[in-house]
Structures are given as structure tokens and as C-alpha cells.
Amino acid sequence: MTTWVSADNRSVAQKLAAGVVGIGHVPKHVAFVMDGNRRFARGQKKEVKHGHKSGFLKLREVIRWCMDMGISEITVYAFSIYNFERDPEELKGLLEVIKGPFAAVLKERQKGINDGIRYQIVGDLSLIPPDMMDVMQKVMDISKNDVKFNVNVAFAYSGRREITNGLKRLVGEMRDKKIGPNDVNEFLFQNYMQIYPPTKLDLFVRTGESRLSDFLLWETDDKAVISFCEVLWPDYSYWNFLGSVFDYQGNII
Ligand code: FPP
Ligand code: MG
């Protein structure tokens, strides 16, 4: 058990059900919109920070569940560019909740404890507070050769901005004559998106609401399955998880 991966807490019935679902086609790359933390906190009559902490605890469980299911990569929406507009007190708490696990995994690595996960941050890195970016960069560097599982954390992220920034880079390279207008097509352009190497997104799970929320707009291609799950992220259960995979299996083409 490490900071980012919880112990296996599934019941016998859940393990049996997983065996059945696992016979079908399992997605390789899954995205999660982790929404509903504040509503969860309010429902428990606790402060907002408790909701975000519970959100991270759920993420640890989900990483364990994904590893056991044979999923190899997840991309999670931890913080959008719009979240900077939140109440300063909440913002401070949320940034602590996100920075803590990065600092903790760095400590583990320095002690020789390796969870095998490759961590990647995707987002407008220029907006990330320097102390936080420093820790995140160290985690990215130290884990860059790990292959057991990929965790892409979307932070200061916006899908529209990811596409716009990709376009800016492409235009710059065209100006420098590294590529010509005839080279441009969707296969080339995907290399200007941030998840590296660009892996096909199979399943997009959205908790809390029925909106895409400017998440992975390029990556949700013609075959990606979008699964809406009404529960609040901290309440997302193993049964909900199996339901999301089942939804994928019923909708792939
Ligand atoms: C949306 O719920 C959730 C967030 C803005 C934060 C998500 C972050 C985490 C779960 C922590 C992840 C930690 C790491 C280290 C990756 P909301 O605040 O919009 O809640 P609401 O919809 O009920 O208002
Ligand atoms: Mg919300």
C-alpha cells in the first residue's frame, strides 16, 4: 500500500463480479471527472476541504481497482483553469490536498519505495504555483521510466486551452519551416496534445453532473465511450466502477 494506491478492499461478491466483467473487453485508458466533493462535504456537515480529501481517498481506491481490472492508464481532472476563481480559502485547502500526495510519493521514492506508477501533469503548467510545480516536476522526472500504470493528473487544465496551446506550437514550427501546411492532419496534430505518448482514450467517466466540463475535448474521439454516473465522486463505489466498465462494453464499436 502506497500513498496513491489503496489496499484491496473489495468484498468476495465484488471480486466475483469483477471476474465476470473482466471476461469482456476492458478499456486501457480511462478518464475520470471527479466531481461532487463539496456536495459530499455538505452532506456530511463537514468543511469543503474534507470533501476534496475524500476525493483523493477515492482516487486511491480507483487506482487499485483499475490496476486489478487490467486498465493501464487513467487521466483525472484534479483542477481546471476555472477552479482558480474559487473562494481563496477553498483554493488554499484544495491546493494542499493536491500537493500533499505529490510530496508524499516523492518521499517514498527517495526511501526506495516504488509504486511503479508513471505520473504526468497535463494542463497549463505556466499557471501552476512555483512551489507546487517544483514538486510535480520532480515526481514526473523520478517516475518517467515506470511502466506498471500511468496516472495523468489534469491540473490548471482546460481542453480548449490544450488545443489552443497545441495550435500555437504548431504555428511556431510552421513559421520555423519545421513542418509545412500539407503535413497538417489529425494524426500529426495529436502529437501537440499533452498526454505523452498520445494514447487513445477508451472511456470517459463523468461523476456528479452530465457535462464534459472542457475535459479532454480532443481525446474524446469517435470511439471513446462517455459514461455519466450520477453519484458524487467520493461516493463512487466499486459497483459504480463495474457499471462504468460495463457501459463501455455495451457501447464500443
Ligand atoms: C470537483 O468537485 C472537484 C474538484 C474541483 C477537485 C478534485 C480534486 C481531488 C479529488 C483531489 C485529487 C488529488 C490529487 C493529488 C490528484 P466540486 O468541488 O466541484 O464539488 P461540487 O460539484 O459538489 O461543488
Ligand atoms: Mg462541481
CATH number, residue 226: 3.40.1180.10
| DSSP assignment string, 37-96 | HHHHHHHTT--HHHHHHHHHHHHHHHHHHHHHHT--EEEEEEEEGGGGGS-HHHHHHHHH
Of all protein residues, the one whose alpha carbon is nearest to atom 14 of ligand 1 is: 98
Q: Which amino acid appears at position 69 of this protein?
A: M
In a domain, 4, yes or no: no
CA distance 252 to 125: 33
In a domain, 1, yes or no: no
- At residue 1, the pLDDT reads 81
In a domain, 22, yes or no: no
> Does the structure show a pLDDT above 90 at 38?
yes
CA distance 157 to 164: 12
In a domain, 18, yes or no: no
CA distance 162 to 190: 11
Instruction: Report the SS3 class of residue 150.
Output: strand
Which ligand ends up closest to the CA of 77? 1
Instruction: Report the SS3 class of residue 84.
Output: helix
CA distance 253 to 244: 16
Which of 35, 46, 206 has most ligand 1 atoms within 8 Å of its beta carbon, as the pocket-test mutant?
Answer: 35
The pLDDT > 90 percentage for the chain reads 98
Q: How confident is the model at residue 242 (pLDDT cuts 50, 70, 90)?
A: very high
**Ligand 1 center–CA 79 separation, angstroms:** 7
Q: What is the pTM of this model?
A: 0.97
Nearest atom in ligand 1 to the alpha carbon of residue 4 is 15
Of all protein residues, the one whose alpha carbon is nearest to atom 7 of ligand 1 is: 78
Give the chain's mean pLDDT: 97
In a domain, 61, yes or no: yes
Q: Which amino acid appears at position 215 of this protein?
A: F
Q: State the DSSP code for 181.
A: G
The predicted-structure confidence for 170-217, as pLDDT tens digits, reads as follows 999 999 999 999 999 999 999 999 998 999 999 999 998 899 999 999
CA distance 222 to 240: 24
State the average pLDDT over residues 163-170.
97
- Structural domains counted in the chain: 1
**Ligand 2 center–CA 38 separation, angstroms:** 7
Boundaries of domain holding 216:
27-251
Of all protein residues, the one whose alpha carbon is nearest to atom 11 of ligand 1 is: 56
Of all protein residues, the one whose alpha carbon is nearest to atom 22 of ligand 1 is: 36
Which ligand ends up closest to the CA of 100? 1
In a domain, 57, yes or no: yes
In a domain, 194, yes or no: yes
Of all protein residues, the one whose alpha carbon is nearest to atom 10 of ligand 1 is: 55
Pocket of ligand 1 (CB under 6 A): 34-39, 52, 55-56, 59, 76, 78, 83, 94, 97-98, 101, 153, 208
In a domain, 128, yes or no: yes
